[in-house]
Amino acid sequence: MFQMPTTARAAVLEEYGQPLRLRDIAVPEVRAGEMLVQVSLAGICGTDVHQSHGSLTIKPPLPNLQGHETIARIVALGEGRTQDVGGETLRVGDRIMWAHADCGQCWWCQVARTPVLCASRQGYGFAHPRQLRGGFAEYEHLSALTQVVRVPDEITDEEAVGVGCAFRTVVAGYERLGGVGFQDDVVVLGAGPVGLYSALLAADTGARQVIVVGAPAARLDLARRWGASHVIDITEVPDPRARLARILELTGGRGPQVVVECSGVPVAFNEGLEMIQKGGRFLVLGQTSAATLPVAPGLITGKGLTVIGSVSAAIPHFYKALQFVKTRRHRYPLGALVSRRYALEQVNDALADMAAGREIKPVIDNRLRPGLVLPPRDAGVAAASASIASKGNTP
């Protein structure tokens, strides 16, 4: 029998550079429009590693609850919360994903129509633990402003979890890029999840060839399985000049029309500027570090380059990414992105393994916790939980 929780076990970042600590967090009330969800999988990405080390460009105040790429099941629906962004009915037990909550009122939301730059964004994975807005926990609380999308029944948690960060970021970035031209040569710098999804989209949408530069071997093997034509292992070709020579050889001496920077390593930006052909487009997705380095801006003007920065994504990109997974899941082994599962108590091991490059996509898997009972998928329970929430009672 499922019982509404009053507390949630969570791994909290209390001090930068130190291990996360397990804490019991009070579950907030579920008011009108809000939701309580039970975390199934919480992916760990490079941003989580930088966040835990305190090396992000913007440091979230401490303490904070990490985990911004999550797939979860609905536990309680607040009054008025009945549909996802695609108009599908929501019920207790449904699997959902969600975007950071945009205010919908500021200049960036209303005039610029760029909600990822919202002046009052409510982020998930960066907030104070008492708000319970992070995936490194048993449960999460979603605000009334948070837009959600139901995960199609056809796809597995493992196929979907990458949408929570890397894939939606790539979908948003390619939208700003204007897509990949038919028969363009594309170089992807970095073979982490963002790089892998970048290679996947480029290959699937008509690139002539896709060249992935990165490491380790396991990630490059998956890049090939996801459509990469060539891979360059930086452990085998450590000299950037040798990598440039190889790329020029593959692209007729002109360089690629498109370079996508996904590594997050600052020097990769310069490497991309060197290799891209005249008139090319350079999409920068991976740079989140506060580190600086010398750059020759004359390369941008001299080559007539278009340099595009893209950050995060909005709910339409989640929706589009999930639809891609639904229609392409039999063409590509999308679930192979998840390389290892960890219990919540092993979160520090997961972060360390991601930082060391031992994993492609480690996930915190709450299904490994035998005492955590999943909510039933039942419309009657949904109505009951909404009634409870509308009265302002703590679930």
Position 374 scores a pLDDT of: 63
Beginning with the edge strand found earlier in the chain, give each strand of the sheet holding 64-65 in spatial order.
21-26, 7-13, 64-65
Where along the chain do its domains lie? 7-154+329-390, 167-309
**pLDDT on residue 318:** 97
pLDDT digits (tens, 9 = 90+) for 201-253: 999 999 999 999 999 999 999 999 999 999 999 999 999 999 999 999 999 99
Tokens of 24: 């019991």
Assign residue 183 a region: left if phi > 0, alpha if psi is -120 to 50, beta otherwise?
left
Q: Quick one: fold of 167-309? A: Rossmann fold (3.40.50)
In the chain, the largest separation of any two C-alpha atoms, in whole Å, equals: 68
User: Over 70: is that where the pLDDT of 48 sits?
Assistant: yes
Phi, psi of 190 (to 5 degrees): 110, 135
Task: Tell whether pTM > 0.85.
Answer: yes
Q: What is the pLDDT of residue 380?
A: 40
Angle at 217 between CA 155 and CA 318, to 5 degrees: 30
The answer to whether the CB of 347 falls within 8 A of the CB of 38 is: no
CATH number 3.40.50.2300 is the correct assignment for the domain at 7-154+329-390: no
pLDDT tens digits for range 279-336: 999 999 998 777 888 999 999 999 999 999 999 999 999 999 999 999 999 999 999 9
Collapsing DSSP to helix, strand or coil, 167 comes out as helix
* Residues whose CB falls within 8 Å of the CB of residue 179, separated by 6 or more in sequence, listed in order: 205
pLDDT (0 to 100) of residue 377: 63
Long-range contacts made by residues 295-301, C-beta under 8 angstroms, separation at least 24? 295/269, 295/270, 296/270, 299/273, 299/274, 300/273
CB atoms closer than 10 angstroms to residue 245: 13
For every residue of 258-289, DSSP letters joined together read EEEE-S--HHHHHHHHHHSPTT-EEEE----B
Q: What is the pLDDT of residue 386?
A: 39
